[in-house]
Amino acid sequence: MARLKGVTAVLVLACLGLFAHGCGNDDSVTQEDIDDAINRVQEKERLRDLQQQVKELRKKAKQGSKNGNAGNRNTGNAGQGDGYYENGSAGGPVSTCATSVQVGPNTSCDFAMNVAGEYGSNPGASSITAYSPVTGEYYTMSCGAWSGGGTVCTGGNGAAVYLP
| Per-residue pLDDT reduced to its tens digit, 102-113 | 898 888 898 999
Round to whole Å and give the CA distance between 33 and 1.
52
Comparing 91 with 56, which gets the higher pLDDT?
56
Judge whether residue 127 has pLDDT over 90. Answer: yes
Same domain, 55 and 75: no
In a domain, 49, yes or no: yes
In a domain, 82, yes or no: yes
Q: 139 forms bridges with which residues in the sheet?
A: 130
Residues contacting residue 70 through CB under 8 Å, at least 6 positions apart = 90, 91, 92
| Per-residue pLDDT reduced to its tens digit, 54-87 | 666 666 555 554 444 333 333 333 333 454 444 3
Same domain, 84 and 58: no
Residue-number span of the structural domain to which 47 is assigned: 39-68
- Identify the pLDDT of residue 45: 82
Same domain, 76 and 64: no
